[in-house]
Amino acid sequence: MPPRVLPPGSKLPLTPVCKHYDTLTSVPPSIQKYFHQRKSIFSFYDWDIRLTDSAWFGVTPEPIANQIAKDLSPPFTSTHSSSSFQDKDSEGGTLIDMFAGAGGNTIAFALSEKWTRIIAIERDADTLACAQHNAEVYGVFEQITWVHGDSFEFLAMLKETPELLDEQVRVDVDRTVVFASPPWGGVGYAEHEVFDLERMEPYNLTELRRACRPMGHVLFLPRTSDIRQVADLVPDGGDKMQVVQYCMRGASKAMVAYIPAEKEQRLLP
Ligand code: MGP
């Protein structure tokens, strides 16, 4: 099924798996650790934030999502060397959140008010319903263009056959940044001293890179990711890229790589 752009204002229905847990005793053991941190994951948790059970594992805690949203500004090219992802003089641009999940990052990007358009893509209907509901709790639902479907298919269409996409998401790739917080293949990632990004499941680094390039893209990766694999992502002819460890209470939660757009895709003056 091709990616479906939801009409403005339209919401997928919440279902019984779009849950809001109130008490620890009702929470499955595998997600109790995250339930304890619920207020730092979503500060508005008590305002009926909803998650599917599997969304708990991948949701970005709000302080980190907000910091990333602060650190990332359009446009995003390799022309500015080390400050490439903070061009404060620029305006507008599109942010595509490839794996919207329960909405943590999407909401933070919308709250930052830096982007002309934010496109949030999620393949699982229940998880997308949670993200839309949570965005409404934060008052940013209307600012987001919601897409139900496969983000790899969406990006391929955007680059190769944009005429087949709904007009509201037929955006200028030269002014688009992709944010990808993919599944890491379960919590087992933490068992590896150095995490091999080519073994990440279900999508490895090469697949993610192929889908996102030549647009600038931001990859939210395990904190122990192999930095040599990340360093190889600097586009040909580029000089630097930034890789940031985002921490809470002194411990890293994730490594985020800011990969500039490829040169031929730079916006001409
Ligand atoms: P964690 O590694 O499960 O726990 O998740 P933590 O808090 O490091 O505790 P520890 O005691 O086990 O060390 C840490 C953070 O990583 C989460 O808050 C998510 O932001 C992120 N995260 C975890 N997983 C398994 C995923 C994932 O599969 N995908 C994405 N995108 N993020 C994940």
Q: What is the pLDDT of residue 201?
A: 95
Instruction: List the Cα angle 13/3/51 in 5-degree steps.
Output: 35
End-to-end Cα distance, the chain = 39
CA distance 251 to 249: 6
- Nearest CA to 259 out of 239, 241, 238, 236 is that of 241
269 residues of the chain, pLDDT tens digit each: 789 999 999 999 999 999 999 999 999 999 999 999 999 999 999 999 999 999 999 999 999 999 999 999 886 543 433 444 444 444 679 999 999 999 999 999 999 999 999 999 999 999 999 999 999 999 999 999 999 999 999 999 999 999 999 999 999 999 999 999 999 998 788 888 999 999 999 999 999 999 999 999 999 999 999 999 999 998 777 778 999 999 999 999 999 999 999 864 443 33
Element (H, E) at 136: helix 125-137
Q: What is the pLDDT of residue 239?
A: 73
**Overall size of the chain counted in residues:** 269
Ordered DSSP codes for 62-97: HHHHHHHHHH--S---GGGGGGTT--TT----EEEE
Burial 69-99 (b: 16+ CB within 10 A, else e): bebbbbbbbbeeeeebbebeebeebbbbbbb
Query: Does ligand 1 come within 6 angstroms of the Cβ of 187?
Result: yes
CA distance 115 to 237: 27
Q: What is the pLDDT of residue 70?
A: 96
Q: What is the pLDDT of residue 133?
A: 98
Distance 88 CA to ligand 1 centre (A): 30
Tell the residue nearest (CA) to atom 26 of ligand 1.
58
CA distance 205 to 211: 10
Query: Does ligand 1 come within 6 angstroms of the Cβ of 58?
Result: yes
